[in-house]
Structure 1
């Protein structure tokens, strides 16, 4: 359940009234959920803009729609608006937005996946790429699978050795090295040829 304070509802209602569009609502979605870069995006939406999987929150004079895929990350969020000398500040507190912290007793595999998802993939995403853990050998070798812009990229060896391997070995001391299991010859849209 998302909680909107009365001042936040008043703020949204005023913005909607200024648009003079019938049945206009507000859509809320999570951007980069489950990562340290997790954030929220708000936008106006008309009924025709809805996909049908949204979670609808009835407010005073309008509806707030939460994008379906964002619900797990925004459930329990609190939206508030505090007036000040410059107009005001809208805040959204969403405890699950950036993902749950890693448990103290997490396995090596869980820790490697956590580092990949929270540190490595957000950086690779700037080039349209991603990486996933395919296997962890008994010798501590992380076998990785590249995708997106990294699949077939001419710089993947540099990224692997100077970026990913160093990061994983620093964050997860049990990792002794990394190996790429990707068939780069089949890459269709590499960032660097």
Structure 2
């Protein structure tokens, strides 16, 4: 399930021994798992700090507790410690932490929502923008609402056609069209004002 290298175990053991607290171990959890903001949290914990449903992994000299709700997202994770001339560096790789794309058998809505959250919105965020899925019609038309810097932006038509629509067509079979349902006249902080574009 989780691979913790001998070097990482030795690193944690040394830190735990320095604290000299009975039962002190390491707790691993996923923060915002299944999203593009997902990250791993690693902290020292005493038995009294635990919720009681954690998975316990016996390591050399301590226990690694894995938050139960995080287990599916941390499956296959690897924790390593690399000694470098400037000091050591802990590395945690968790390939499933951001979730897994829904299979082709999933609903069109699920597949569209995944691509928007994991591919489209991270790109739009670079310009303080985002898009939300309003609906997917029975005909495969994706209806979106723009927000942030995209709401009222003079470049929104280009973003829709050359970015979002191309991405959805390429990544989500079944999408037939992409439409914008946003009232762009109400945008308060567009990335590019409509009068400039």
TM category, shorter: 0.5 to 0.7
Please name the residue that 1:81 is paired with: 80
Higher alpha-carbon deviation: 137-146 or 78-87? 78-87
Instruction: Give 1:14 shift.
Output: 5.8
Please name the residue that 2:11 is paired with: 11
Please name the residue that 1:165 is paired with: 165
Aligned residues: CA RMSD = 4.5
Distance 2:66 2:187 in 1: 35
Equivalenced residue count is 187
- Structure 1, unmatched stretches of 5+, are 19-24, 46-54
Distance 2:2 2:172 in 1: 36
Please tell me whether the aligned partners of residues 149 and 191 of structure 2 are also in contact (alpha carbons under 8 angstroms). Answer: yes
Structure 1 residues 104, 142: closer, same or farther in 2, change over 3 A? Answer: closer
Please name the residue that 2:191 is paired with: 191
Instruction: Give 1:12 shift.
Output: 4.7
Please name the residue that 1:92 is paired with: 92
Please tell me whether the aligned partners of residues 5 and 79 of structure 2 are also in contact (alpha carbons under 8 angstroms). Answer: yes
Residue by residue over 1:155-179, the C-alpha shift from the partner in whole angstroms, topping out at 9 and shown as x without a partner, is: 1111011111111122224222111
Please tell me whether the aligned partners of residues 30 and 40 of structure 1 are also in contact (alpha carbons under 8 angstroms). Answer: yes
TM norm structure 2: 0.62
Distance 1:102 1:145 in 2: 23
Distance 1:26 1:191 in 2: 44
Please tell me whether the aligned partners of residues 28 and 43 of structure 2 are also in contact (alpha carbons under 8 angstroms). Answer: no
Distance 1:140 1:132 in 2: 16
Please name the residue that 2:22 is paired with: none
Please tell me whether the aligned partners of residues 38 and 97 of structure 1 are also in contact (alpha carbons under 8 angstroms). Answer: no
TM norm structure 1: 0.63
Please tell me whether the aligned partners of residues 26 and 65 of structure 2 are also in contact (alpha carbons under 8 angstroms). Answer: yes
Instruction: Give 1:84 shift.
Output: 6.8
Please tell me whether the aligned partners of residues 143 and 179 of structure 1 are also in contact (alpha carbons under 8 angstroms). Answer: yes
Pick the structure with greater CA Rg: 2
Secondary structure, counterpart of 2:135 in structure 1: strand
